[in-house]
Amino acid sequence: MAGSTHRRAVITGGAGFVGSTLARRMHADGWHVVVVDNLCTGSAYNIADLVQQERFEFVQANVSEGLDISGSVDAVLHFASPASPPEYLALPIETMKVGSIGTFNALELARANGATFLMASTSEIYGDPEVHPQIESYWGNVNTIGPRSVYDEAKRFSEAATMAWHRTHGVDTRIIRIFNTYGPGMQVADGRVVPNFICQALRGEALTIYGDGSQTRSFCFVEDLVSGILAVLEHGDAQPYNLGNPVEFTIGQFAELVTELVGGQAVVYQPLPEDDPKRRQPNIDRAKRELGWQPEVDVAAGLVPTIAYFRERLGL
Ligand code: UDP
C-alpha cells in the first residue's frame, strides 16, 4: 500500500482450512493480508482472531463473480475452492467456476498489479496415478467425465491458465500441488478422512473405512505445508512443486493410528467412492533440493493438536 512498508497479499479462500492458516502465518510475518472468501465452505471462525487486527481485511465475496481490490497488491494466492470430495461433489458447478472464472479473476488482479501469483493446485491433478510416488513431471490419469472431474479438471485448467498468463503476460507465477493435509482449522463436517475419523472416534462412533482400507494417502501437517507454500512464493519458479508429507499410510493403518491416539473404537466398512485414487504419495525431491523444504512434523505429533482442536469444536 502507498506509504506502507508492509507487502500486501490477497488470499482467495482465506477463510478456509489451508487459506486461513496461511493468512495467519503471513500476517505474523508482517504482511498486510486481504482475505476474500464467500464462506461457502470456509468459516468466519477460522479468521475470528485476525479480523480485529491491523493489516488485515476480510472481503466476503465470490471470487468467480469478480475480484475488485483497490490499492496495490504484491501477491495473489488463489486458494478459493471447495476441496473435500463431498463438498465439491455437492457444489460441482461452483467448483468449476472458481477453478476457471475465479482463476482468471485472480490472475488478472496479479497482472494488473505486477504481483506474484500462486495457484493452489492439488495432487488430484494426477487422478488415479499410474506412477508412484507422484513426481511433478507425471501428467496424470484423470477420468474427465467422472464425479471427481469437476475438481480435478478445474485444477488442471487453473494450472493451464496460470502458465498462459505467465507466458503471455509475463506474470510471475507459482503452482503448488497440495497433497492430503490436516490440522486445526478443518471443518467438523468437511467429510475428508482426517476430520471424519477423529470426530467419529471422539464421539465414540465406529470409524468409517471406505472400501477395504488398502488405498493409501500421505498426510502433511498444515503448518509444514504453509512453510512450503511460503518457500515456493519467495524462492520458487513457475514450474509446479509437489508439497506434502511422503510418509504413506493405508487408510486401514491410519484408522489404527487415530484409534490409538483417541481411544479404542470399532471400524465399519462402507463402499469406496467412484474413482477414489488407490495410491497417493508425493515425490518432494524438487522442493527439498531447490528450496530446502521438507515436512518436520510427523503424523502422530501433528494429530495431537488436531485432536485437541476437534475436541473443542465438538464441545467435548
Ligand atoms: N475415506 C475413508 N473414510 C472416510 C473418509 C475418507 O475411508 O470417512 C477414504 C477415502 O475413500 C480416500 C481416503 O480416505 O481413499 C482419503 O479421502 P479424503 O476424502 O480425505 O481425500 P482424497 O484424498 O480422496 O481427496
pTM of the model: 0.97
**Pairing of β 173-178 and β 216-218:** unpaired
Q: Which of 45, 88, 138, 151 is catalytic?
A: 151
Find the radius of gyration of the CA atoms of the chain.
19
Q: Does domain 8-179+222-245+281-296 have CATH number 3.40.50.720?
A: yes
Indicate whether residue 258 lines ligand 1 (CB < 6 A). Answer: no
Question: Per residue in 29-57, pLDDT tens?
Answer: 999 999 999 999 999 999 999 999 999 99
Q: Is 269 a catalytic residue?
A: no
128: nearest Cα among 279, 312, 285: 279
Distance between CA atoms of 291 and 115, rounded to whole angstroms?
A: 21
What CA–CA distances, in Å, run from 39 to 57, 63, 67?
15, 11, 15
**Domain parsing of the chain, residue ranges:** 8-179+222-245+281-296
> Can the peptide bond before residue 133 be classed as cis, meaning omega within 30 degrees of 0?
yes
Ligand 1: does its nearest atom lie under 6 Å from the Cβ of 180?
yes
- 273 Cβ closer than 6 Å to some ligand 1 atom: yes
132-165: pLDDT as tens digits = 999 999 999 999 999 999 999 999 999 999 999 9
Q: Residue type at 82?
A: P
155 in ligand 1 pocket by Cβ < 6 Å?
no
Angle at 287 between CA 126 and CA 192, to 5 degrees: 45
CA 30 to chain centre: 22
Query: Within 13 Å, how many C-alpha atoms sit on residue 212's CB side?
Result: 2
Nearest CA to ligand 1 atom 24: 276
- pLDDT digits 0-9 by tens, 281-316: 999 999 999 999 999 999 999 999 999 999 999 999
Mutate to test the pocket of ligand 1, among 124, 203, 215, 251 (most ligand atoms within 8 A of CB): 251
Q: Do residues 196 and 306 make contact, with C-beta atoms less than 8 angstroms apart?
A: no
At 3 the pLDDT is 54
Q: Yes or no: say if 50 and 56 are a contact pair by the CB < 8 Å rule.
A: yes
| Count of other CB atoms within 10 angstroms of residue 264 | 8
pLDDT over threshold 80, residue 1:
no
Side chain identity at 220, as an amino acid letter? C
Q: What was the pLDDT predicted at 2?
A: 45
